Amino acid sequence: MALKYQRILLKISGEALGGEKGTGFDEPTMDAICGGVKKAHDLGVQIGIVVGGGNFWRGRSSGKMERTLADKIGMLATVMNALAVSDKLEQLGVETEVFTSITMPQVAPAFTRKDALKAMADGKIAIFGGGTGNPFFSTDTTTALRAVEVSADIMFKATMVDGVYDKDPHKYPDAKKYDTLTFTKVLEDRLAVMDGTAATLCRDNKLPILVFDLADPDNIAKAVQGENVGTLVYEG
């Protein structure tokens, strides 16, 4: 089957790595997620991954700690997750290369567009740790940024719901799911799908986002082949 996308940037939330608990690493859940990533990669699509850090730490919910310090801890959490996802994928026989936005050469090389493109062209999955390297940003924004930087066709936002709804589907049984949506509507209606910075970056650079449920890790491969597995956000 033909591929709809040649290069994708996949965002996996940190929480997803923690399974039911949502914290730390849940091995079976990580095996399932990485198995889904491998399936998509086996189809021949180039993949970059950004992992969040919420299974360990989120700067904005760190109580009294000074925010920029709290965010540094959050960014380091994303590096731990990047290394763990890399290890899982390598165990499955997929070659990977981790890049970081904050230099730590003993851990992984610093991100450059050129090296990331080369890694993906060589058949490796590029994994980007450390967020943007700046406080007050999120890993959603990081994914949008890296996607634009490496000229990806689309950002895949793998979440815990099967798309974007007009209101919280867990609270309101009559919530309506969107098949498609514009970034302008996401911003105007303040839909809780991504932060405003990420939405604006995508809109300004014409980068579409597909939001879908990671509970079925096969969704990644399905989406790569153009199956309608969630909500597509783009600006017409």
Least Å from the CB of residue 13 to ligand UDP: 4
Out of 59, 208, 217, 230, which residue is the one contacting ligand UDP (CB under 6 A)? Answer: 59
Is the distance from CB of 58 to CB of 34 less than 8 angstroms? no
φ/ψ (deg, to 5) at 210: -105, 120
Least Å from the CB of residue 174 to ligand UDP: 28
Q: Does 22 bind ligand UDP (CB under 6 A)?
A: no
Least Å from the CB of residue 1 to ligand UDP: 30
How many residues make up the chain in this entry? 236
Q: Does 131 bind ligand UDP (CB under 6 A)?
A: yes
Is the distance from CB of 144 to CB of 202 less than 8 angstroms? yes
Q: Does 19 bind ligand UDP (CB under 6 A)?
A: no
Q: Which is nearer to ligand UDP, 19 or 74 (CB)?
A: 74
Interacting residues toward ligand UDP by CB under 6 A: 13-15, 52-54, 58-60, 70-71, 74-75, 77-78, 131-132, 134-135, 137-139, 142
Binding site, residues? Answer: 11-14, 53-54, 58, 71, 132-139, 159, 165, 168
